[in-house]
Chain A
Amino acid sequence: MKLSHAKAIFIWGTVLSSVIFLALTYDSQRSFSKRTHEEKLDEHVAAGKWVWQKYNCNDCHTILGIGGYYAPDVTKVMSYRDADWVRRFLKDPPAVWPAERKMPVLNLKDQEIEDVIAFLTWVNGIDTNNWPPKPLAVASAAAPNPGEEIFKTQGCSACHTVGGIGGKIGPDLTHVGSRRSKEWIEEQLINPKSHDPNSIMPSFAKLPEKDREELADYLSGLK
């Protein structure tokens, strides 16, 4: 091979790849509006994106799968947490999720919390080609118990263990159904202080009643 051939490989390889790439970039750029629902991208979302950057959330959490791997991916967080939970959490993360590995208290202002929730809600709507994937185990199992789902999404396992998995701050709930009735558990969720005046368990009175019932159904069945 002569030097001139090598040079031709260099030039034509670069040009060809650049042309393809720029053409696809043009097309992708045009698709963003629809794939990301830009009509819902208002000034709160934009402000929330800046909150996300200003506090450098991204060097602990991934979003769209990019960032630090120290904390959970937040791309679809608004699919499994309600805004109220996130609000309480962001105010004081260690209180709401007292795991050993903690998120620091960032002292966000109330407006910043609202904005970042608007941002995460918008991100939740991005068409990510079905990423993250549905777990195979769940996808193949029969419909999961709705109460079990709520138990997961409300972060109960930060304090409670079920079947050996979870936190140690509250009692083990693996066999809670053998000592507590469904009504008792519902009461515990609405007002934990009714059973123990010094309770440190947060109240879940703000959950829709249906969710509380399904939770209590699930737990009282754990004999």
Chain B
Amino acid sequence: MKYETQKIAYNYFLIATLLFGLQVVFGLITGAKYVWDHDPLINILPFNVSREIHINLLVVWLLFGFMGGTYYLVPEESETEIYSPGLANFQLVLFALIGVTAIVGYIFRWSWGMPFLEQPTILKIGIVIVALIFLFNILMTMLKTRKWTVIQGVLLGGLVMLALLFLFGIFFMKNLTEQYYYWWWVIHLWVEGAWELVTGAIMAFVLLKLTGVERELVEKWLYVETGLVLFTGIVGTGHHYYWIGTPHYWLWVGGIFSALEPLPILFMVIDTLRDVREKKIEIENKTAVYWAIGCAVMHFFGAGVWGFAHTLPQINKWTHGTQITASHGHFAFFGAYAMLNLTVIYFAVPRIKGVKLVRNGLSLMALRTMTFSMILIALSLAVAGIVQVYLQRVLGMDYLTVQGFMKLWYAVFWASAWGFAIGAFMYIVDFFRLSSTTSARAQQ
């Protein structure tokens, strides 16, 4: 760590870690409702409430992680301290308060009722304020020295895009088709657009620092990858416009563009592996490198392969809105974004704490456990989804009857989820161990 204010990132990572743990707890509760039809919590915490909490915690902890990553990265790229540490801390507290209010509100049935965007409007306005403070602080920092590296530029572009797109999820529209049309501008253009820019930039930074490869090489690839992400991903939004009341041409346009989306993700894998192989310095922090490689590969399978599997309209017609979607949602979010944040945390926290991290056994155990369990989660939900598509959509059996036939796979899913929870627990323990290690007791 070169700049004092990079420390701000730590509190963001801390909150991200806690919310991640809570997300997994609510995942287990939500999943149990599939395994046992009789729900003892039906009047206290029914499925819709535990699901909204689960997926909101997911998005919020990932955003905390991105913000932490940004606060760590920008001083080093701009070669200056953060413009206002006070604002950075205020923004953190405000965002955390809004998050807690939303979660408690859901339990009391205070909800706006669009998936992922359940936050009541007043809280959404609060989130916009948080975003404005954050962007202002980052921009002012960059303007102090005006070192427009490509990494910084792409990061800033992604963050601005992320904030602007959120505005399309705030307004109530009478027409459901129109509402969902713009809802996808948030959901899809986030995960297959803005977030790819943010995480692409952060990953480029981490790899640059870890492997010492030439900056020009890293930045060139960053441009190409994010350029292709946006080229395929923006029009690729059309893969959500097949069946929601939108014109028929989206089947062609959305199908073709979104089928190309895995390409830049494949480049990212090649890029990451090349950086590591052609390293210019001896890599000390092996832990972070393993996370980075794991992230690239899981990103490719979860988003690229699992996404491609159901993106063509001929297939999506049958799989749309089934457990196939849930399988992909878990795999992609974990591989692309959860693992990115864990990579950054294992890169930045040792530096913030002045610890020399080399090979951290518990962390790598957490990496293996979570990755392996997530693959099982994705596979079991995929099998459940295939059973569902065949019995319900092909044979025309009724919904609840089919759910009965999927029970076995829900059970496998839930058991795998416990494996995942154990991995997540190892990570959380390790995070706190790392946080409390002083440089004198440097970890092995």
Contacts and interface: CB of A to CB of B under 8 A. Distances in A.
B293 to A, nearest CB: 23
A64 B114 contact: no
B4 interface: no
B48 A59 contact: yes
B47 A59 contact: yes
Contact of A133 (B37, B114, B177, B318): B318
A17 B247 contact: no
Contacts of B178: 29, 32
B251 interface: yes
A209 to B, nearest CB: 25
Contacts of A6: 219-221, 223-224, 227
B174 to A, nearest CB: 4
A64 B244 CA distance: 5
A190 interface: no
B177 A41 contact: no
Interface in B282-327: 317-318, 320-323, 325-326
A9 B227 contact: yes
Contact of B48 (A64, A68, A129, A138): A68
Interface in A63-88: 63-73
Contact of A49 (B174, B221, B227): B174
Contact of A32 (B37, B42, B172, B175): B175
A33 to B, nearest CB: 9
Most B-side CB within 10 Å, residue of A21, A31, A57, A134: A21
A59 B118 contact: yes
A137 B37 contact: no
A100 interface: yes
A77 to B, nearest CB: 11
B158 to A, nearest CB: 12
Interface in B222-245: 223-224, 226-228, 230-235, 237-238, 241-245
Contacts of B224: 1, 6, 9-10
A14 to B, nearest CB: 4
Contacts of B393: 132-133, 135
A58 interface: yes
A137 B247 contact: no
Contacts of A105: 43
Contact of B235 (A20, A56, A158): A20
Contacts of A66: 115, 180, 183, 244, 321
A102 B39 contact: yes
B328 interface: no
A174 interface: no
B359 interface: no
Contact of B396 (A18, A50, A64, A135): A135
B118 A70 contact: no
A13 to B, nearest CB: 3
B11 interface: no
Contacts of B43: 104-105
Contacts of B400: 72, 99, 101, 158
A62 interface: yes
Interface in B381-436: 392-401, 403
B183 to A, nearest CB: 8
A135 B34 contact: no
Contacts of B238: 24
A9 B42 CA distance: 52
A201 B24 CA distance: 41
Interface string A125-143: 0111101111111100000
Interface in A155-213: 157-158, 165-166
A32 B48 contact: no
A133 B244 contact: no
Contacts of A145: none
A172 B401 CA distance: 15
B401 A166 contact: yes
A223 interface: no
A53 B399 contact: no
Contacts of A55: 109, 113
A56 B180 contact: no
Nearest to A75: B243
B176 interface: yes
Contacts of A60: 46-48, 51
Interface string A6-36: 1101111110111011001101110110011
B33 A70 contact: yes
A107 to B, nearest CB: 10
A71 to B, nearest CB: 8
A3 B220 contact: yes
Nearest to B313: A129
A46 interface: yes
B49 interface: yes
Given A16-B231, A17-B232, A58 B115 contact: yes
B48 A54 contact: no
A56 B119 CA distance: 11
Contacts of A216: none
Contacts of A123: 176
Nearest to B189: A21
Contacts of B247: 27-28, 31, 35
Given A53-B113, A63-B176, A129-B242, 18 more contacts: A1-B220, A10-B224, A10-B226, A13-B227, A14-B230, A20-B234, A20-B235, A57-B113, A59-B118, A69-B321, A69-B325, A69-B326, A99-B400, A102-B42, A132-B320, A133-B317, A135-B392, A136-B395
5 tightest Cβ-Cβ pairs between the two chains A and B: A135-B396, A53-B113, A65-B321, A13-B231, A10-B227
Interface of B: 33-34, 37-39, 42-43, 46-49, 51-52, 109, 111-115, 118, 150, 172, 174-181, 183, 216, 219-221, 223-224, 226-228, 230-235, 237-238, 241-251, 253, 257, 317-318, 320-323, 325-326, 392-401, 403
Interface of A: 1-3, 6-7, 9-14, 16-18, 20-21, 24-25, 27-29, 31-32, 35-36, 38, 41, 45-46, 49-50, 52-60, 62-73, 99-102, 104-105, 119, 123, 126-129, 131-138, 152, 157-158, 165-166
